[in-house]
Amino acid sequence: MKVANIFFHRNVFHLAAATCILFFVMTAVAMHLYPGGTYLEPTTHGYSFFANFFSDLGATRTPSGALNTFSMILFTSALTIVGVGLAVFFVALTQFFRDARPSAILPRTAALLGVIAGLCFTGVAFTPWNLYLAAHNHFVMWAFRTFLGAVLIYGIAILRERTLPNYFALTFLAFAILLAGYVLLLTFGPSPKLAEGLRIQVAGQKIIVYAAVLTVLIQAIVAGRLLNRSVRALGRSGA
């Protein structure tokens, strides 16, 4: 495993984990402050966990026309923070692979896709669906598609890296299966313009978003511990 800049990258993993925790906290507060209103029932009060998308938190106004300033600020900030954290997390993972081998193209490709995914999530944050629906949906689709590519390729690359434990790869691969299912749901699933379709799409989004943030949180913690192990090994060797 490459150990250059090991202390810097260990702090990057701590940062990535912190952004995940912030996302959970900030979106929970945004949900609490959301005035109310769903796509199909604009006059409802408060945030409905199974009828409001995450993106409703980032709209400038609710479907009823009410201002949504506080929730929008919190959601935009939370998604921007986690988008940046996601990008640096995937880049930092490349240090676990030896650059001299031809297979190094796998982690580099995964890191590039991870950066694109992070940028797309940031794009989602700054294109409220009630103002820029086409751009918003475009960013959503490509955020999850590139995220899928990143975790799938990293899972394969980690399995091929003998110095890394298999459970590190299996966590990525298990999430990749779940994420692939969600991409199919986005592409071919029922329309949210119908009540049943809305519930299915909202539930699917909640599951995948929380699973994504939890996966990155777990993997960032594991990566930090693997680096700590390397630091101790270097100390014992006198390097």
How many other C-beta atoms are found inside a 10 Å radius of the C-beta of residue 133?
12
Quick check: 63 and 220 in contact, CB under 8 A?
Answer: no
Structure tokens at 24: 């959970």
Amino acid (1-letter code) at residue 147: F
Among the residue ranges 3-17, 44-58, 127-141, the one predicted with the least confidence is 3-17
Q: What is the pLDDT of residue 96?
A: 85
For 191, list phi and psi in degrees, rounded to 5: -75, 135
Q: Which tens digits make up the pLDDT trace of 24-34? A: 999 999 999 99
Q: What is the pLDDT of residue 239?
A: 46
User: If you average pLDDT over every residue of the chain, what do you get?
Assistant: 90
Q: What is the pLDDT of residue 95?
A: 85
How many other C-beta atoms are found inside a 10 Å radius of the C-beta of residue 229?
11
Amino acid (1-letter code) at residue 110: A
Q: What is the pLDDT of residue 2?
A: 46
pLDDT band of 230, cuts 50, 70, 90? low
Query: Which range, 38-42, 73-77, 100-104, 234-238, has the best average confidence (pLDDT)?
Result: 73-77
